[in-house]
Structure 1
Amino acid sequence: MLAILAAVLAFVTIGGLGWVFVGEDNSSDKAIKRAEGFTSGGNQTARAKAAKAEASTPEARRKVIELQLKEAERRERKARMTMKAKLKHAGMSLSIRTFWIISGCLAAVAFLVPLFLGLNVLVALGIAVVVGLGFPRWVVGFIGKSRLKKFSMEFANAVDIIVRGIQSGLPVHDCFKIIARESPSPVGPEFKILVEGLGVGLTLGQALDKMYDRVPTPELRFFSIVIAIQQKTGGNLGEALSNLTTVLRARRMMGEKIKALSSEAIASAGIIGSLPPVIMILVGLTSPAYMGLMFTDFRGHVMLLGAGMWMGLGILVMKQMISFKF
């Protein structure tokens, strides 16, 4: 009996000791896991704080602002590429429907006249595409660029009128009226539309945004930014606009210097690009039979097509080489 009791006590003792050691190991594992969890959570928190601190640095803010400006510029450039926007830039009151009707009529005339003269159908179709699609868009783009250039050249003088008016005690709205009345086209008519917009209840920022849609020039954007900053922060508007005119004139002087330095390259590109078609026209006038095969024979059509493609590629490359952005 004593032996059985001693065996039971020994079994209980050994089991208790084993449970103690095993339980201690489990609690240690749990403690280790809890410590690892706290450590990993602390590391995540530290990484989050480090990322937040890195995002708040001036370099990170500069990158974010740069990306935002590039995205806004891309959207504005895409909006300016539409035909409706180009008609606005050119100052034309034509609707898109009227423009495409005129383009279709020109294409039909350009297709029928070569057929009447006996040229090949493919040649007539190519002429119709160029005249119907390319020529009207080129005319609108040329008029728009000329108008924007005139606006940029006269805009600094218009800002000077605002500066002198503010220094003499006139309100900004009255200065806009003076510009609308005294400045030449297109600055005067655009400021007249601006004054009319302010008269019907538009804010100055909204009126300037609408004006920028019609005349998307960097000078007008700078002016809008200066006005917006002055409205939010206050300060001397006359002094700010005076500094703006200095920047605009310095920018214009830089553009003239770039134009002068690149004039030789532009002249060379013009001569190289115009030489082949001029020679073809002269040879056609002096020896019509010699050049006529290019327009009557199929092989001549292929050669003209290849020459046109190569000339177009060369002109595009030269255009990219002589186009300077500043």
Structure 2
Amino acid sequence: MNPVVLGLGVGVALLALLVLIFYVIAPPAPRVARDRRLAPGVEHVSALTRVTQRTTAAIESVASKRSSRMFGPQELELAGIKTDPSSFVVIVASAASVFALIGVLVGFANGTWFIWAVLLALLAPVGAKLIISSRTSKRRARFADQVDDTVQLVAGSLRAGHGLNRSLAGVASDAEDPTSEELARVVNEVRLGRNLSDSLAITAQRMRSEDFEWVAQAIAINQETGGNLAEVLDQVGKTIRDRNEIRRQVRALSAEGRLSAIVLVALPILVFLFLVIVQPTYFSSFFQNPLGIVALIVAGVLLVIGSIWTALTVRVKF
């Protein structure tokens, strides 16, 4: 296949992806508000919007009958993604279609277009899972770093004479994300009748924060036994600050190992993709020979095992 035609096809596919992202998923804001451009009482719905709404409704009706979902609402909420699950599935499916088209163009010259289409299409859901997992981990890490400041703010508000619920509401309005979102959720649950201690314990479990679990236990014990809650939170906050200091020091000392693990895992993948794009016939013998296919599968399995091994090696249990 002519490299010029191949490059043109890849360029068209990338252009289609950009159009999908910037004009369908995240279109630019109009210069004039929609309510000023429409007649009173008239709501304009484009054909693309109607198709998208019907698609998301169909996906939602099918997914609601299943007990487990690939991209559930709680999973997206933990990752800080405001999109509803059905719309997120549509986005992932659109990305998979574009990647499959790129795979067809890449493998059309040597007859391996089907394999490339399937492999690249699988990158969309796998990549979405990795993005959600990464965003969830970062969000939980930010929450853990903000616990000591949160405890200090709550203790200061209690000393000022506010009640515990009012103190939590004030911190929820003044703190940064994700602490503000989680505390606002706690405040709303308490207003709906849930016990404060239970709501705080559930938040600690959801964010996987041992430090916040200590805070929840301290508040629960204080509600049963009484006493000066501000002084108790001061002691808990001091312990949490000391733990965070040690945790940051350990993270700094293990940064070199994490970077080495990322380079070792990403290097063979990037070299493989580079050679496939620059010299498509370089790996054609692997796909045409059963032994070559087995070798690629074994290499992929070893790469996965090595990634898990290095991840467990550089992860410090604290």
- With the shorter chain as reference, the TM-score category is 0.5 to 0.7
1:227 CA drift (Å) = 0.7
Give yes or no for the alignment of 1:190 onto 2:191.
no
List aligned pairs for 1:289-304, cutoff 5 A. 289-291=281-283, 293-294=285-286, 300-304=292-296
**Aligned counterpart, 2:5:** none
Give the TM-score of the pair, scaled to structure 1: 0.66
1:324 CA drift (Å) = 1.6
Distance 1:271 1:253 in 2: 28
**Aligned counterpart, 1:125:** 118
3-state SS of 1:264 partner? helix
State the identity as a percent.
22
The alpha-carbon distance between structure 1 residues 197 and 234, as it changes in their structure 2 partners (threshold 3 A), is same
1:249 CA drift (Å) = 1.1
List aligned pairs for 1:1-326, cutoff 5 A. 83-117=72-106, 118=108, 119-132=112-125, 134-212=126-204, 214-284=206-276, 287-291=279-283, 293-294=285-286, 300-326=292-318
Q: Which runs of 5+ in 1 are unaligned?
A: 1-78
The alpha-carbon distance between structure 1 residues 82 and 107, as it changes in their structure 2 partners (threshold 3 A), is closer
RMSD across aligned C-alpha pairs, in angstroms? Answer: 2.8
Distance 1:269 1:247 in 2: 32
1:138 CA drift (Å) = 1.0
The alpha-carbon distance between structure 1 residues 90 and 287, as it changes in their structure 2 partners (threshold 3 A), is closer
For 1:171, give the aligned amino acid: G
Distance 2:282 2:116 in 1: 18
Distance 2:316 2:73 in 1: 26
Whether the 8 Å contact between 2:95 and 2:124 is mirrored in structure 1 is: yes
1:143 CA drift (Å) = 1.3
Distance 1:323 1:307 in 2: 24
Whether the 8 Å contact between 1:120 and 1:295 is mirrored in structure 2 is: no
Larger proportion of helix: 1
1:293 CA drift (Å) = 4.6
Distance 1:226 1:131 in 2: 44
Distance 2:275 2:103 in 1: 20
Whether the 8 Å contact between 2:276 and 2:282 is mirrored in structure 1 is: yes
The alpha-carbon distance between structure 1 residues 201 and 287, as it changes in their structure 2 partners (threshold 3 A), is closer
3-state SS of 1:268 partner? helix
Distance 1:114 1:279 in 2: 17
Tell me how many residue pairs correspond in the alignment. 246
**Aligned counterpart, 2:18:** none
1:163 CA drift (Å) = 1.1
Whether the 8 Å contact between 2:205 and 2:213 is mirrored in structure 1 is: no
1:95 CA drift (Å) = 4.3
Whether the 8 Å contact between 1:87 and 1:93 is mirrored in structure 2 is: yes
Give the TM-score of the pair, scaled to structure 2: 0.67
1:309 CA drift (Å) = 1.7
Whether the 8 Å contact between 1:88 and 1:214 is mirrored in structure 2 is: no
Distance 2:81 2:205 in 1: 14
For 2:251, give the aligned amino acid: K
Whether the 8 Å contact between 2:71 and 2:89 is mirrored in structure 1 is: no
3-state SS of 1:305 partner? helix
